[in-house]
Amino acid sequence: MSDSTQPIIFFDMDGTLLDLAFDDLIWNTKLPERHAETYQCSLEQSHSILSDFYQQHKHTLSWYSSTYWTEKVGVDVLQLQYDFKDKIAPRIGCFELLKSLQQQGYRCWLLTNADCAGLKLKLENVDLSPYFEVMISSEEIGYSKEFVEFWQILQTKHFFDPQNACLVDDTAPVLNGAAKFGIAHLVTITQPSSLRAPRHALELEFPAINDLTELLPILEQIQNKDVDVKTA
């Protein structure tokens, strides 16, 4: 079923395969609420304390670590996510795409900046595992996906050819990190969270899809181009 011209496909999890609405709910609403309850302060105070933390740690490994947040903020952030796990949901076209890729023999890897505990929680609630030959948390790598080092270390653990790889990810700094490393095909998502307005495809730096099945024609194009190059 598979053929050697098929690119390997790397998928981000939150905001790409899964609706970022869950993470927005946890970090922007529930964490400030629980923080305010815990410290008996106003919600405004909690929002301002937390947003300072967010600004300091954005795009670092600490940012993605529930252990770090639990220590730093004094609220059990992992427990908080478990309390609202019913809200974890796939994005539009998620399973349709994954089933179709599996039928066509594509190799798919799940690469997430969520920590190992966060990855486990998501997989317990949305059954993504059957579609992936590799599933990696950046916590295991020691760098978040924004860094070239993530891709270098990943490649030593699980070999792949960056020239024949496609990354789908909703975060521009991650796509830029992957581009620096040399991943040839990069695709982003117009509406990572169903609770927020979609971003305009024209304003994004990378080709963008919303329904995940829109990736299928892009993959066809990639392979046709490769054939053109090889036969030219």
Residue pointed to by tokens 């181009």: 225
Spatial separation of the C-alpha atoms in residues 16 and 89, rounded to whole Å = 11
Please classify residue 177 by burial: count the beta carbons closer than 10 Å to its beta carbon, then call 0-12 exposed, 13-18 middle and 19+ buried: buried
Q: Which of 24, 115, 146, 170 binds Mg ion (CB under 5 A)?
A: 170
Q: Would the CA dihedral through 126, 140, 6, 198 be positive or negative? A: positive
Judged by CB under 5 A, which stretch of 31-39, 94-102, 165-173, 223-231 contacts Mg ion? Answer: 165-173
Task: Decide if residue 19 touches Mg ion (CB under 5 A).
Answer: no
Task: Decide if residue 23 touches Mg ion (CB under 5 A).
Answer: no
* Sequence letter at residue 69: W
Task: Decide if residue 14 touches Mg ion (CB under 5 A).
Answer: yes
* Beta carbon of residue 188, minimum distance to Mg ion (angstroms, whole number): 10
* Beta carbon of residue 12, minimum distance to Mg ion (angstroms, whole number): 4
Spatial separation of the C-alpha atoms in residues 199 and 209, rounded to whole Å = 10
Judged by CB under 5 A, which stretch of 7-15, 63-71, 90-98, 130-138 contacts Mg ion? Answer: 7-15
Tell me if 175 sits within 8 A of 151, measured CB to CB: no
Specify the residue, 15 or 93, whose C-beta has the smaller distance to Mg ion.
15
Residues that bind Mg ion (CB under 5 A): 12, 14-15, 170
